[in-house]
Structure 1
């Protein structure tokens, strides 16, 4: 005798199959949304969030603050970023 075709199991009238399909659709939707949220989450550095887009001037200021470039190089590059001053 095949028990899985029994009408008293809840699957014989079609509602059980519909519930399984809806359940699987909800499950996979949650999995896809969860993965996409993990991939879109901004990366964290020590103690804070990193903005998605930083301007060239912000990157230059951060390099100067970390000591990667000295003051003369900072002002020279800052001038190059803003272009020559017009009178």
Structure 2
């Protein structure tokens, strides 16, 4: 091994460059991961948004209109219509 000490004239520069390079690569990887997580959290999809009964939703007038439409289409019977209408009044 005649070249065992080849490259020692750089001294401390080589290890410092390696450490700085590794830190920069890890920082870039962290930024990419953070952006992906943030993008995923902001993306709409199933299971996103407020829980049922929380957050904005149809107001009482709109809910009553929807109830009347469902009754007119035959999706619900008279008993269900009356029960839900009373619930919307309170």
| TM-score normalised by structure 2 residue count | 0.47
Which structure has more strand as a fraction of its residues?
A: 1
Q: Which has the larger radius of gyration?
A: 2
| TM-score normalised by structure 1 residue count | 0.48
Q: Identify which of structures 1 and 2 has the higher relative contact order when contacts are C-alpha pairs closer than 8 Å and 6+ apart.
A: 2
